[in-house]
Amino acid sequence: MAWTLTSGLTRLAGLVNLEWLEFLDVELPKGIGIPELVFFRKHWPNLKGLACYKIEAVEVQELLATEWPELEVKLNHTWG
């Protein structure tokens, strides 16, 4: 499943108690943008953490730092 709003994430909107979102594939985080973060906040009010390989978009990094500083973000996460 692709982790974008149009092809996957909306299927998980009902998981209102979701606290942690972890992307295991190094290619998946490239789809995280402002619309995805807005979706996360709207549908997952209990989300406390996000783990992914990287977030390259400066606007996404800035939004996380200014609008959602309490969200724990683990980049270059090592699994295993």
Domain residue spans of the chain = 19-75
Beta bridge mates, 72: 49
The pLDDT tens digits for 19-53 are 998 877 665 556 678 888 999 999 999 999 998 87
Residue 67 reports pLDDT greater than 70: yes
Residues 6+ away with beta carbon under 8 Å from 80: none
Residue 71 reports pLDDT greater than 60: yes
Query: Is the Cβ–Cβ distance between 61 and 55 less than 8 Å?
Result: yes
What pLDDT does 31 receive? 65
Backbone φ and ψ for 59, nearest 5 degrees, come out as -65, -30
Residue 64 reports pLDDT greater than 90: yes
Q: What is the pTM of this model?
A: 0.78
